[in-house]
Structure 1
Amino acid sequence: MSLSVVLAGVAILAATLHYFFGLKLDPREPPLLPQKVPLIGHLIGFLRNGNAYYLDLSMKHGQQICTLAMPYGRTYVVNSTKLVSAVQRNAKTISFDPILTTVAERLAGITGPELEALKEEETGGGGAHRKVVHSMAPSLIGLGLDAMNKAMLANLENFINALETQDQAFDLWAWTRHVISIASTDAVFGPENPYAKDNYEQTFWEYELNITLLLVNVFPQYTAKGAYQQREFMAEKMIDYYRRGCWKQGSEMIKARYQTGIQNGASLEAIARLDVPGGTGILSNTVPTAFWTLCNVFSSPELLADVRREAEKLFTIDQTGPRPVYTLDTSDLRTGCPILFSAYQETMRTRACFASPRYVLEDTLLNGEYLLKKGALLQIPAAVLHHEQSQWGSDAASYDPYRFTKQSSTKRSPVAYRAFGGAPALCPGRHFATVEVLCFVTMLVMRYDMTPAGGNWELPPPNYSNVAASILPPLGDIKANVTVRKGYENIEWKFKVTETPAEKSAFGLASD
């Protein structure tokens, strides 16, 4: 049988299936976008390109909201800040909470009665997962944030000090990933941090890269064998961490999660398993943001000079000892480095590629225009909103490190910036992540000159297939050399955390 006959047969079969089983829309629903392969074309696009697929569709079709036919049903994609505001006003019927159940089941491996205890109350569950998530916010501001910052900065100090003796080129992405991974998770989990033992850190990054197949959830022990085994390995380590009572030495956040979960009917094992995908919340934004911000600063002579001029004013200098001591106080970062803070936020704006998901719990007329049907999935892709010219100007697609230092000619919608998600699911750890990245970059630019081993800053492309990452990681690495800056030799460098009340410890992020 010739290939043309086989292809014709496949095309006829696909067309027949589409005719009988294709999605039928109510005329009031958002317009249905075509797909090259009936039934599975959009799914293939998503699996190949991750959340960047939504940006491609937006650029091609220009719809402020559209419908995609997926094998599991309809997905609405919101491409307009005006409609995002309408989605948030309908939080009771367009809810994030069922996503928590999907995460618990597919990414944490929780099933049966333990899953029912976590499940949202609106569908008959115990609602423990929602309460666990909401318990974190109070511990990630004020004194709780200060305590985590102290633990995190102790690690950063050691890692950055060690570069003084680094006399060979090293992989900048791999180094950054390790430094931020350990600094962040030590601050969260305490001295018995699972990430620092038994190859857990490396296992997590392999799991994070392969998470898509777990989300598809078709016999994952076979179709997602690697990610499935990685999930179970990490779950075993987390369960051991909690059973040995190590959480008592962890951060206030970990204590709040555990105690809230137990008080609301969740088991120790379920709480431990939630910390497996919970690693994406701790690391999958902060690590690539630290890498890209560092590269953006060092690769631009003008930006590097401006950031250094700011940084010089932030350090206090004590010359009473045998050598000078330069100290950076985290409280000074909130107002003392507007250019670096702008470059940091612009890095996330141009690199964010995740989509904020919601489930439609009841038929909802959105903004008086579009009917959203019960049972549908709704996605709000950050990259699309970050390219919206009505919000960001004609250069929305370009990286401008000074963008957030300028007075915008148009009043931006409060939902236009989605690097940390959006209400009611705004990332509770955004201020911790901000302190970490700003301290990391400020200390490095003050102490070292960094140059690419190849002579030019040719950055690796982003890994678009990574759907777990809020900020796209690089696909590949870049070799870098570091040397102590001339005139800054024989200096002791320190971080300092001045305890700050909750109302003064937050950064003025564009997402807030």
Structure 2
Amino acid sequence: MFFSSSSPVFILILTGAITLTYFVTRRMFGHDPREPPLAPQSIPIVGHIVGLSQSKFNYYVELSKQTGFPIFTMSLPGQKMYVVTKPDLIQAVQKQHKILAFPPIEAKFASTVCGASPEAQAILNKNVNGDEGNFGLSMESYDAMRAGLKPSSELDDMNRAMIQEIAKSLDTLQPAKGKSRKVGMYNWLRDAITTATTRSVYGPMNPFDDKAIADAFWEFESGLMSILVGFLPSIMARKPIAARTKVAKAFEAYYKAGGLEKASALARYRYQAEINHNVPLEDIARYEVGGSIAILVNTAPAAFWSLLLFHSHPGLLDDIRKEIDACTETSIENGLTVKTLDITTLKENCPLLLSSYQEVLRYCSMGTSVREVMEDTYLDSWLLKKGAMLQMPSRIIHQDATLWGPNVDEFNPRRFLPEEKQNRPRDVCFRAFGGGKTLCPGRHFATNEILAVIAVFIARLDMKPIGGHWKLPTTANTNVAAVVMEPDTDIDVEITARQGFEDVKWAINLNRSDKIFAMVTEDSPEIIS
């Protein structure tokens, strides 16, 4: 049956459709004057989507400069987003961690990304935000992560295992005397760090020792956005989903074979939390694929940018080498010269190395802390509506000239030296690891690993670009889960043994991991104690 445009039934349906569209549109795009001011968009409704697709993580910086507001509202199709741009307001957000909550978002992300079963999703969603107390899989998984990664003898064990794997990779990389080796710098770092990290976490039965599994993981990681979008996944996300399944099956076999018996405390604690809540083994394996994102995705890019910027910044490499050389112990064993580097000693005696590393993170990080507004609430004088999302992009803070000075766009390796403290903002303005209750628990492990790679690389190897000059690659395709920019293209380099060090044997040690490098406010002695 068809209706004519003049019939009462047609008019009734049309009126209902217009009314429904009005209320849906108002719900999606309506703006209360008590809310943070609206950010302008060039195209109604979809302008922010277009801006994000074109400028990626720099779009938030552009909007922040354009509006000048400490917090603003982005109206997106189907979702309202508040974006915080000032450190004081970020601290206020972090104090309201139950009302402005991260766990519900992480649970949704984990279930979608990992392909968890409905049963596992229900277990994870029980008391997901800890509103009823510190119990449930969500809360206990956080506790397991913090326990496994806090400075302790257990973290020392994991760090030492990682460092020895880094040493092996560098031994293999170094060519014979008078020879050179050509490699893609990023690919080499990613392979070396993947091996070192996963062996230290998962032990001698590490699933990633199978290169096919490691390659499948990176295939999965490269397709995260297509999985998250969820549009025709059997077509649009076919390859990353197949790769995810392959890695999950490897973890399932690992658990069944007793791989955890010689694994790190971190891996054991995470597994036990899930077993305690009766998560099916297939889903434990799926969630561990997601957990691998956290331990792997950002370390290689951070090491890549460190080596690239240290080598390309005039005079910096020589100055850092002098610091590292001064910390290197030399001995003779069976007539062979042995050079020993201790990572704890480096953290205590190489201020330029540490300042340069921290500046790399400021310069190259683009992570965003995300919260869900659990109920209508006020942040300072601004009304935040239940169901909206709140973002705190680190890049807005890290690129704010009113905080960091007129050279904010430049890589300044001496910015974080102790004597420069009066020329930079408070520690809370450094957001590479987030902050508050969701501060990255793996920051100490990652720092030890990156320092081990770059310090020993610099101490024993010379590197030059194949093309004759250093060129920073673009980062437009950085993945959705990344916190540090990922290069769109690799840099081909030529590696030789450092002149005068060709016949040296190298050893890397770690005294104690409780000698931390305090980069964030939460690591200050007053707060730790």
TM-score normalized by the length of structure 1: 0.91
Q: Residue 96 of structure 1 corresponds to which residue in structure 2?
A: 102
Structure 2 equivalent of residue 341 of structure 1: 354
Task: Give me the whole-angstrom Cα distance separating, in 2, the residues matched to 1:509 and 1:253.
Answer: 23
Question: Is the 2:84–2:390 Cα contact (8 Å) retained in structure 1?
Answer: yes
Query: Which residue number in structure 2 is paired with residue 183 of structure 1?
Result: 196
Aligned residue in 1 for 2:268: 255
Question: In 1, are the aligned partners of 2:414 and 2:420 still within 8 Å (CA)?
Answer: no
Secondary structure of the residue aligned to 1:347 is helix
Cα-to-partner distance string for 1:352-396 (whole Å, 9 max, x where unaligned): 1121111111111001x1111111111110111111233322222
Distance in 1, matches of 2:126 and 2:354, equals 37
| Alignment-derived partner of residue 162 in structure 2 | 152
Count how many residue pairs are aligned between Structure 1 and Structure 2.
Answer: 493
Kindly report which structure 2 residues correspond to 1:109-120, keeping only aligned pairs within 5 A, or say none: 109-119=115-125
2:397 maps to 385
Partner of 2:171: 161
Q: Are the aligned partners of 1:48 and 1:465 in contact in 2 as well (CA < 8 Å)?
A: no
1:87-108 Cα distance to aligned partner (Å, 9 max, x none): 0111110011112211221111
Alpha-carbon distance, 1:411 to partner: 6.9
Other-structure match for 1:397? 409
* Partner Cα distance (2:126, 2:43) in 1: 35
- Alignment of 1:510 with 2:523, yes or no, is no
Contact map agreement 1:108 1:231 (CA 8 A) in 2:
yes
Of 111-120 and 376-385, the range deviating more from structure 2: 111-120
Change (3 A) 1:161 1:379: same
Cα pair 1:81 1:413 within 8 Å, conserved: no
CA offsets, 1:192-232, max 9 Å, x none?
22222151222222222221222223443333233222222
Report the AA paired with residue 142 of structure 1: S
Match of 1:131 among 130, 140, 161: 140
Give secondary structure in 2 for the equivalent of 1:291. helix
1:463 is the counterpart of 2:469: no
**1:489 is aligned to 2:502:** yes
Offset, 1:251: 0.8
Q: Does 1:427 align with 2:433?
A: no
Q: Quick check: 1:277 aligned with 2:290?
A: yes
Shift, 1:467, TM fit: 1.8
Deviates more, 1:411-420 or 1:308-317: 411-420
> Hey, what does 2:58 align to over in structure 1?
52
On the 8 A contact 2:117/2:283 being kept in 1, the answer is no
The structure 2 residue matched to 1:372, chosen from 363, 376, 384, is 384
Residue 451 of structure 1 corresponds to: 464
Query: What is the CA distance between 1:120 and its match in structure 2?
Result: 5.0
Note the aligned Cα RMSD (angstroms): 2.2
Cα separation, partners in 2 of 1:332 and 1:193, compared to 1, 3 Å = same
Correspondent of 2:153 among 140, 143, 157: 143
1:87 and 2:93 are equivalent in the alignment: yes
Alpha-carbon distance change, 227 to 80 in structure 1, aligned in 2, over 3 angstroms: same
Residue 313 of structure 2 aligns with which residue?
300
Q: Where does structure 1 lack aligned partners over 5 or more consecutive residues?
A: 1-15
Q: Which range moves more in the overlay, 149-158 or 230-239?
A: 230-239
Is 1:324–1:491's contact at 8 Å kept on the other side of the alignment?
yes
CA–CA distance in structure 2, aligned partners of residues 119 and 25 of structure 1: 30
Q: Deviation per CA, 1:277-296, whole angstroms, max 9, x where unpaired?
A: 22221122211000000111
Aligned to 2:237: 224
Are 1:52 and 1:464, in contact at CA under 8 Å, matched by a contact in 2?
no
Q: Which amino acid aligns with 2:384?
A: L
Write the letter of the residue equivalent to 2:520.
A
Displacement after TM superposition at 1:322 (Å): 1.5
Contact 1:101 1:120 in 2 (8 A): no
C-alpha distance after superposition, 1:377-423 (max 9, x if no partner)? 11110111111233322222221011110333367344311111211
Query: What is aligned with 1:243?
Result: 256
1:27 counterpart = 2:33: yes
1:133–1:20: structure 2 CA closer, same or farther, 3 Å change rule? closer
Change in CA separation of 1:320 and 1:175 when aligned onto 2, cut-off 3 Å: closer
C-alpha displacement at 1:259, in angstroms? 1.1
- Aligned AA (1:372): L
- Any conservation in 1 of the 2:372–2:387 contact (CA below 8 Å)? yes
Looking at structure 1, the residues matched to 213 and 139 of structure 2 have their Cα atoms a distance apart, in angstroms, of 27
Matched-pair contact (CA < 8 Å) for 2:128–2:139:
no
Do 1:93 and 1:362's aligned partners in 2 also have CA atoms closer than 8 Å? yes
Deviates more, 1:356-365 or 1:19-28: 19-28
Secondary structure of residue in 2 paired with 1:298: helix
Task: Give the 3-state SS of the residue equivalent to 2:174 in structure 1.
Answer: helix
Contact 1:120 1:130 in 2 (8 A): no
Q: Say if 1:347 and 1:399, in contact at 8 Å, map to a contact too.
A: yes
| Cα distance change of structure 1 residues 120 and 63 upon mapping to structure 2, 3 Å threshold | farther
1: distance between equivalents of 2:124 and 2:483?
Answer: 24
Q: Which has the larger Rg?
A: 2
